[in-house]
Every structure is written in structure tokens, then in C-alpha cells.
Amino acid sequence: MAKTALITGVTGQDGSYLSEFLLAKGYEVHGIIRRSSVDYRERIAHLEGTPHFHLHYADMSDSMSLVKLVGKVMPDEIYNLAAQSHVQVSFDAPEFTADVDAVGVLRILEAVRTNHLEKTCKIYQASTSELYGKVEEVPQSETTPFHPYSPYAVAKLYGFWIIKEYREAYNMFCCSGILFNHESERRGETFVTRKITLAAARIAQGKQNCLYLGNLDSLRDWGYAKDYVECMWLILQHNTPEDFVIATGVQHSVREFATLAFHHAGIELRWEGEEINEKGIVASINTALAQAEGLKVGDTVVAVSPDFYRPTDVVNLLGDPSKAKRELGWNPQTTSFEQLVELMVAHDMKKVAADDAAAEIRKVNLAEYLEKGVDK
Ligand code: NAP
Ligand code: F7E
């Protein structure tokens, strides 16, 4: 019999890849969506209307909607990916972040218990390397002490502990994947990697002059989201419910990410100055397109803005994926850092060109409309 999975956060980066992964495994996939005044389902648009993929309205802040939905779907596995996932935003909306990212986890657990599914339904919780925060050791593993360093991380810490508590108190199969940063062509546009790859593509095509960033020294262990969703599934197929660190074991700075992204967009950078005065300057240009658009050697294309500094920043994340390798048979090096940056830039080079073409068509349509009064 096909298994049934319920995914919260199905419209997000990970939710979209996990849906594809589970559908390919023959699962019946149900996802939670919330109402929005604009279209936000871009990442799962290709799955809508396909058999075995079902969407339902519910919200992590609404217990009744979760209880009713879990009772209706009767899932074998729940993947709790829904969250206010932006660390910087959590400083601006800390209460909302706590409600969704902390109490939301409790609501899912109670929805399972209310429907008497605690013996049959396994739960995956999207935990995070942000729990290590102001890190107490490098690299970080399952035994490293937590030191959360943002409202987001504090909320996620509650999620981690309530999952552990229900595992021990009620003997439920619920686990946390402590995932380090994972990125992709579908990454939200305000996370640093995607912000950089989109800006590099725009600058190479003459659509943007300069990219403003915050802490360039920040170190991350960046992996590819498509590789990481497999681990979420593997964690629930393990014979005992346990928590796992999922990471590549390789670390790079924001500056290194930017240097490589611009390289793939045809622009070599050199760095000058320090801290707030640091700049990424064009050292050479290997693309006719950028030259044609007026970009010159010596132009400043990356600058630092204190707007992107955080009240407390997590600056040294490096994961030790030994347990996941050993016990789940997972390969943390499936996609390298170099491949990840290359594929994100290649995607965004095409996207920027296509957006431009679409904007041109809209301009022509608008001009025709204004001239002839014809609504296209
Ligand atoms: P994402 O792209 O920001 O997606 C977040 C998802 O949560 C979206 O589908 C969003 O729906 C949904 N959501 C937010 N608030 C909700 C609410 N009140 N009710 C229902 N749904 C709600 O995040 P992601 O990168 O895929 O990450 C997935 C999960 O892993 C998150 O829990 C994140 O905190 C965690 N995590 C991510 C990383 C990473 O590097 N990506 C690392 C560690 C942990 P809308 O589309 O409607 O906004
Ligand atoms: O920042 C620095 C910033 O926003 C990475 C989420 O998925 O991963 C993500 O959280 C680093 C930070 O991701 C800019 O200060 C510099 O040190 O891409 P980010 P994050 O905060 O690591 C974890 C594991 C999660 O769980 C989260 O859900 O880059 N940085 N300049 C910048 N960051 C941003 N966003 N924008 C900048 O301009």
C-alpha cells in the first residue's frame, strides 16, 4: 500500500523538493498551504493537478485546522517544514516566529495525539544548525551544546526539545534533522546565496549596478537542498527515532561565495578595504555581455551596508555529518560547493534574461493598449 505523507511548508524550497522526492517513491503526498493575496505557489506549480498530490488550507498558528487535517489525511509520515525561516526577519517579528516555529511544532504533535495516531504516524521536524548559534565547538555534531543566538533559533530550540520530549514521554517516532544551510535555484531571494547569484546575473546583464551585503566574513556549511530532502526521508526510515546532523563538512565565507558566483557570471572580483569599507571590485571581465552593458574594470560591484548586519550573528557553522553517513548511508558530498554555486548562477543568468524578455513583452502590450485600447 502506498504510504501517505503530510508536508507542512510544501510551498517552500525544501517542501517542493521533498514533494517531488516522495511522489517519485510512490507516496500519496498532502501539503498545507495558506491563503495569500498573490500567487506564491511557483515552486510547486508543476505538481499541481498531478495525481497523488493534494493541497489543503491550514495554518501552523491554527490548532483546529491542523487537528482536522491530520484526522482527514491520516498520514503515515509528517514532515514539519513550515516556519518563518528568515533569521533576520525573526528580529523584526519575534512573536510570530515563536508562534509558528515553536508552538507550531507542539500543535502538530498534539494533532497527532488527538487523532490517536501516535503509534503509527512518524514525524520529522526541520531543525537547524542555528541551534549552535554562538558556537561552543567547531565542527558541530549531535553532541555539541546548543547556544541559540536569534529569536528564530530560540523558537527552533523549543521545537527540538518538544520533539524529544514527546518521543520519550509518549514513545512517539519523532525526530529532528539538524540541517545546516542548504541552497538551490529555488532558494528564497533574500537569503544570502540567492541574493548573490541573482545580483551577479543582473550585474553581468547590466540590470543592477551594485550588490549590498552585510557580514562578508560569516562562515557557512552550504549544501544542495535537493540532496538534503533525501535525508529527511532516510531519518524516518531508520529503525529507531533519532536526531541527525545533516551537513557537507566543508565551510566557506560569504565573500568566497560571492567571488565564485561572480566568476560564473563572467566577472572576476578583487577585494579592497575592511569591514564596513570593504568592496568587491571588477578585476577582469570575461563576458562580452557585461562589457556591452558598460561594466568596466575598476567598477565597485559589491559593497557593505550595515542594514544587513544582525543584532547577533552566527558566524562559524561547520557540520560533522559522520553519524548520517554511518547510520543512514547518506553521501554529504553528492553536490560540491563549486557545483552548487555554478548551478545557481546558471539558473539565475537564464532567469534574469527571461524576466527581461517578459518585461519587454509587457511593455509592448502596455504600449499597444495605451495606443489602441486593446486589452491583451
Ligand atoms: P522556506 O522556503 O522559507 O519555506 C517555509 C515554508 O513554511 C513555506 O511553505 C511557508 O509558506 C511555510 N509557512 C510559514 N509560516 C506558515 C504558517 N503560519 N502556516 C503554514 N505554513 C507556513 O524554508 P525552507 O528553506 O524550505 O526550509 C524548510 C524548513 O527547514 C524550515 O522550517 C526552516 O526553518 C528549516 N531549515 C532550513 C534550512 C535551510 O538552509 N534552508 C536549514 C535548516 C533548517 P508560504 O509559502 O505560504 O510562506
Ligand atoms: O545568512 C550573512 C548573514 O540569511 C547567512 C535559514 O535557512 O540557514 C538560513 O539562515 C549568513 C549570515 O541564512 C547578508 O549575516 C551577509 O551570517 O543566508 P542567510 P542563515 O541566517 O544562515 C539556517 C540553517 C536556517 O535554519 C534558516 O532557516 O550570511 N549575510 N550579508 C547576509 N545574509 C542575508 N540574508 N543577506 C545579506 O545581505
Take atom 29 of ligand 1 and give the residue whose Cα is closest.
81
Mean pLDDT along residues 234-254 = 98
> Which grid cell is 153?
533559533
Sheet with 122-128: list strands edge to edge.
Answer: 53-57, 28-33, 4-8, 77-80, 122-128, 174-179, 244-246
pLDDT of residue 27: 98
Mean pLDDT along residues 282-299 = 89
pLDDT of residue 367: 55
pLDDT of residue 376: 37
pLDDT of residue 371: 53
Q: What is the DSSP string of 16-62?
A: HHHHHHHHHTT-EEEEEE---SS---GGGTTTTTSTTEEEEE--TT-
Catalytic annotation, pick one of 132, 152, 224, 228: 152
pLDDT of residue 365: 61
Mean pLDDT along residues 299-317 = 98
Name the nearest CA neighbour of 265 among 195, 342, 209. Answer: 342
Mean pLDDT along residues 172-180 = 98
Is 272 in the active site? no
Q: pLDDT tens, 327-375? A: 999 999 899 999 999 999 999 999 999 987 777 666 666 555 555 554 4
Mean pLDDT along residues 25-44 = 94
Query: Which ligand 1 atom is nearest residue 9's CA?
Result: 9
Mean pLDDT along residues 300-312 = 97
Mean pLDDT along residues 107-126 = 98
Ligand having the closest approach to the CA of 81: 1
Q: Running DSSP on this structure, what letter comes out for residue 102?
A: I
Check pLDDT > 50 for residue 33: yes
Is 130 in the active site? yes
Query: Which ligand 1 atom is nearest residue 130's CA?
Result: 43
Name the nearest CA neighbour of 199 among 246, 258, 271, 151. Answer: 258
Residues near ligand 1 (Cβ within 6 A): 8-15, 32, 34, 36, 40, 59-61, 81-85, 100, 126, 128, 179, 181-182, 188
Q: pLDDT tens, 45-68? A: 999 999 999 999 999 999 999 999
CB-based contact 210:300 (threshold 8 Å): yes
Q: pLDDT tens, 85-103? A: 999 999 999 999 999 999 9
**Mean pLDDT of all residues belonging to the chain:** 95
